[in-house]
Amino acid sequence: MVLGGIIGAVLANKTNIKSVFSIGTVWSLGLILPMYFAINSGSWITLYIYCFVFAFPQGASAVLYLLLLSRRLPVRYRYTILATAFAFSAFLFIGIPPFIFSYFTRESSMYIPMLVLGIGYFIQLLAVQIFYKKTTIEV
């Protein structure tokens, strides 16, 4: 994820944040189904390779969504709003999902968690395409 964050930030700095973020999201979407089949096939080496490749767009997304948010906020309130949004999203998307996914995997298989993950990435891609508009950096 660290390498993905560095590579994603450099690419976004040279091109466009929205396009790099969208490519990372599509990359993540494309890897969900192969990862699901790797889990079900029992090939752990293949699964580890997919997880390693999956970590690159995750690292880029972790950095770029903060950049997307910070460029949309006024400078006066940027730190407070960004810190609050980051803390809430960390609670919502890092703290709660392990409990929900462990319940789903105990009751069924990995199909439902992978489906939820895919739907989340699709909503993320759609939201960035619809709501994010190019802005200039305020100093």
Question: Residue 56 in contact with residue 103, Cβ under 8 Å?
Answer: no
For residue 63, count other CB atoms closer than 10 A to its CB.
22
The residue assigned the tokens 């969900």 is: 32
102-121 pLDDT per residue, tens: 777 776 677 777 787 888 88
19-78 pLDDT per residue, tens: 888 888 888 888 888 888 887 787 788 888 888 888 888 888 777 777 777 777 788 888
Domain boundaries, the chain: 2-131
Q: Measured in Å, how far apart are the chain's first and last C-alpha atoms?
A: 29
Question: Residue 61 in contact with residue 21, Cβ under 8 Å?
Answer: yes
Question: Residue 78 in contact with residue 86, Cβ under 8 Å?
Answer: no
- CA atoms of 127 and 29, how far apart (whole Å): 15
